[in-house]
Amino acid sequence: QKEVEQDPGPLSVPEGAIVSLNCTYSNSAFQYFMWYRQYSRKGPELLMYTYSSGNKEDGRFTAQVDKSSKYISLFIRDSQPSDSATYLCAMTPPAGTASKLTFGTGTRLQVTL
Amino acid sequence: DAGVIQSPRHEVTEMGQEVTLRCKPISGHDYLFWYRQTMMRGLELLIYFNNNVPIDDSGMPEDRFSAKMPNASFSTLKIQPSEPRDSAVYFCASSRGRLYEQYFGPGTRLTVT
C-alpha cells in the first residue's frame, strides 16, 4: 500500500464548477500538507501548504486537512480553463526524520468551456 | 529573482552515452533536491543536498547515477552509461530550510534511444 493515495483522474468539469481534489495517507505522523499544481511540460508549482487540521483559504483555493481521517482536500471555486493541470498532494515527514516529501501521483484536471 | 534554472531543457542521447544535467538553485536556498518523474512511477526523489553536502541518496536507482554539488550555486546529475529506461523528466528543486516550500525548476526531458 502506498503511503499517499491520489486518484489519477482525469477529472473533467465545466467552467465555473467547484472542484474537489483529494488524497488519503497512511502515516499519521506526517506534519505539513502541500498542494502543487503542474501544467503540462512544466515543473510543479507550490499552491498552498497547511500544518494543522482545518481549512486554509487563498483566493479561489481552499485546502482542508482532516488528520483524524488521514484525508486532505483541495477545493477550487469558480474553476477556470487556466486551472487545467495536474494537482499533486505532498506531505512532510515528522520532525527529526529524513527530509523528504512524499508525493501523491497527481490528479489531472480539465476545466472545459 | 530568477527561479531554479535547469539545463538542458531537452536531451536526446543514445544508449551507453554519458548524460549530465545541470541545476542552479535559487540564491540563498540551502537545500537542493533532484527528482525524476515518469508516468508509471510519478515523482521520485533521487537525492538531496543540504549546504552542498549529500544527505540522502537512497533514491538513486543505480551506480550509473551520480550527483554533485561543488558549490551553493550549482549541481549536476550524471548518468553513465545511460539506458532507455532512464528516459524521464528530471527536476531540480530548492528550498530555504523549509521542506514544505520547495521551488521546482522547469525540468530536463531526457530521451535515451
Per-residue pLDDT reduced to its tens digit, B34-55: 999 998 888 999 999 999 999 9
Where residue A54 falls (left for φ over 0; alpha for ψ -120 to 50; beta otherwise) is left
Exposed/middle/buried for residue A40 (C-beta within 10 Å: 0-12, 13-18, 19+): exposed
* Contacts A41 to B, Cβ<8 Å: 107, 109
Question: Residues of chain A with pLDDT > 90: what percent?
Answer: 77
Q: Which of A19, A14, A13 is nearest to A74 (CA)?
A: A19
Out of B55, B100, B103, whose CB is closest to A32?
B100
Beta carbon pairs, A and B, within 8 Å: 49
pLDDT in tens, A42-84: 999 999 999 878 899 999 999 999 999 999 999 999 999 999 9
What are the start-end ranges of the H helices in chain B? none
Q: Is A40 on the interface with B (CB under 8 A)?
A: no
Task: Tell me how close the Cα of A18 comes to any Cα of chain B, in angstroms.
Answer: 26
Q: Which residue from B minimizes the CA distance to A90?
A: B100
CB B72 within 8 A of CB B25: yes
| A75, three cell numbers | 477545493
Interface membership of B93 toward A (CB under 8 Å): yes
